[in-house]
Amino acid sequence: AAGEGKNPAACVAVEDSASGVGSAANAGCGLIVGYVGATHIPAERKDSHAKMLMEGKRADDGRGAEVVISELQDLLPIVAHFNACYQASEAAAGFLPLPESLPQSFKGPFWVRS
């Protein structure tokens, strides 16, 4: 974020590991998206891996991924929603809930932290 002259709260991190999610949380990223679509995560472990990414056990404040996706193409509408929320609030309030219509366009399974 600093290298790009951006406030970390305005940035989106996409991570597939607990340590990556923890680093993004500790850096103050505004949105953390978990990703379980990589081939190193077997199909039978995607659900448990997604839940682990949302737990935030590696973050100082316990923050995990707000949403986890299995298809990278689903990232674009999430980022667009985050950008609209961030620009509207100009604050580090974080990710606002996904509108009900947004996940209907997703191509793969997804998880949202409750």
3-43 pLDDT tens trace: 989 999 889 999 999 999 999 999 999 999 999 999 999 99
Q: What is the pLDDT of residue 20?
A: 98
Report the percent of the chain where pLDDT is more than 70: 93
Strand arrangement, sheet containing 31-35: 12-15, 31-35, 67-69, 110-112
Determine what percent of the chain is predicted with pLDDT higher than 90: 69
Determine the average pLDDT of the residues in 45-68: 96
